[in-house]
């Protein structure tokens, strides 16, 4: 097994409040891991800590990504190393077009990896190709980043950005929330097209239905800042039927 990410005894807090209380998790290249759990269990915190959000303080534990100490890197360094976070609430940036935003991101990442920036023609070709992954209309490229986008359009834009950046580890934070079935299908098919033996996904979700479209190798259930159960994909169906209470009960 080729370990890409290894989380050991991770504790993280906001102010005085401890939210992650000892997470252990190991992900290999080529795998899809789903993280489920009731509201407030720490799912979004985990994704934010992995992406380097400074709102949270890591108080204990370690995260090793591709052999490096992930927690020592700034958010942009993590991005350059191939970590992508699909936001639960994508941010609006008025006046900055999607095309300029993506050009800045793609070319900075290329620069950091010692590659030449893409020329205008190459870049636009790449954009068109990747927009097709998520059935995005080309008119989106000229619009301000997420400005006036519907909930579904914002999420598709996240998957589009992921397709542009081709990360090695993508963390999708409740990408399915607020999506109708069509949007869900589009988002999931984008993820499936990007799956390769050398990358990995962490799919954070509250509901089982996304996992009808993205089939995980492993499911983890997070509760009160700890993983209380790790199992195969069949766990999702059980949760769908019985909810989380029985798992919580068993763990206590």
Partner 1 sequence: MKESEKIIADVTSGEYEHGFVTEVEQDFIPKGLNENIIRLISKKKEEPDWLLEFRLKAFRQWQKMKLPTWAHLDIPPIDFQDIVYYAAPKRPSARKEIDPEIEKTFDKLGIPLHERGVLSGTAVDAVFDSVSVKTTFSETLAEKGIIFCSFSEAVRNYPQLVRKYLATVVPSADNFYSALNSAVFSDGSFCYIPKGVRCPMELSSYFRINARGTGQFERTLIVADEGSYLSYLEGCTAPMRDESQLHAAVVEIIVEKDAEVKYSTVQNWYPGDAQGRGGIYNFVTKRGICKGSGSRLFWTQVETGSAITWKYPSTILKGDNSLSEFYSVAVTNNYQQADTGTKMIHIGRNTTSRIVSKGISAGHSQNSYRGLVKVLPAAAGARNHSQCDSLLLGDKCGAHTFPVIESDNPGATVEHEATTSKISEDQLFYCRQRGITEEEAIGLIVNGYAKEVLNKLPMEFAVEAQKLLQVSLEGSIG
Which positions lie near partner 1, rule CB under 8 A? Answer: 51-55, 74-76, 78-80, 84-85, 87, 90-96, 100-101, 104-105, 108-109, 112, 144, 161, 165
Q: Of 173 and 211, which CB lies nearer to partner 1 in the complex structure?
A: 173
CB of 129 to partner 1, least distance (A): 18
Q: Of 80 and 244, which CB lies nearer to partner 1 in the complex structure?
A: 80
CB of 168 to partner 1, least distance (A): 13
CB of 102 to partner 1, least distance (A): 8
- Angle between helix axes 181-194 and 120-133 (nearest 10 degrees) is 130
Q: Of 37 and 86, which CB lies nearer to partner 1 in the complex structure?
A: 86
Q: Of 92 and 198, which CB lies nearer to partner 1 in the complex structure?
A: 92
CB 73 within 8 A of CB 52: yes
Gap between the Cα atoms of 166 and 192, Å rounded: 13
Q: Of 59 and 112, which CB lies nearer to partner 1 in the complex structure?
A: 112
- Token pair of 226, please? 């700890």
CB of 162 to partner 1, least distance (A): 10
Gap between the Cα atoms of 128 and 102, Å rounded: 12
CB 91 within 8 A of CB 146: yes
Gap between the Cα atoms of 157 and 161, Å rounded: 6
> Residue 41 class from Cβ within 10 Å (0-12 exposed, 13-18 middle, 19+ buried)?
buried
CB of 77 to partner 1, least distance (A): 9
């Amino acid at each position: 097994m080729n370990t890409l990410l290894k989380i050991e005894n991770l504790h993280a807090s906001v102010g005085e409040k401890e939210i992650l209380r000892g997470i252990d998790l190991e992900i290999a290249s080529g795998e899809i891991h789903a993280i489920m759990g009731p509201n407030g269990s720490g799912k979004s915190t985990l994704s934010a800590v992995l992406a380097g959000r400074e709102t949270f303080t890591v108080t204990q534990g370690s995260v090793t990504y591709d052999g490096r100490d992930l927690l020592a890197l700034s958010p942009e360094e993590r991005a350059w190393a191939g970590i992508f976070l699909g936001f639960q609430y994508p941010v609006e940036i008025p006046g900055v077009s999607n095309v300029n935003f993506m050009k800045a991101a793609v070319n900075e990442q290329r620069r950091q990896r010692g590659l030449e920036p893409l020329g205008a023609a190459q870049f636009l070709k790449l954009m068109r190709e990747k927009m097709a992954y998520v059935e995005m209309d080309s008119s989106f490229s000229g619009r301000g980043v997420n400005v006036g986008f519907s909930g579904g359009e914002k999420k598709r834009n996240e998957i589009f950005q992921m397709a542009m950046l081709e990360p090695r580890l993508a963390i999708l934070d409740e990408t399915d929330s607020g999506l109708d079935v069509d949007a869900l299908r589009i988002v999931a098919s984008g993820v499936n097209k990007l799956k390769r033996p050398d990358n990995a996904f962490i799919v954070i979700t509250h509901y089982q239905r996304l996992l009808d479209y993205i089939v995980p190798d492993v499911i983890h259930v997070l509760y009160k800042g700890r993983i209380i159960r790790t199992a195969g994909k069949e766990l999702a169906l059980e949760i769908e039927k019985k909810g989380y209470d029985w798992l919580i009960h068993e763990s206590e």
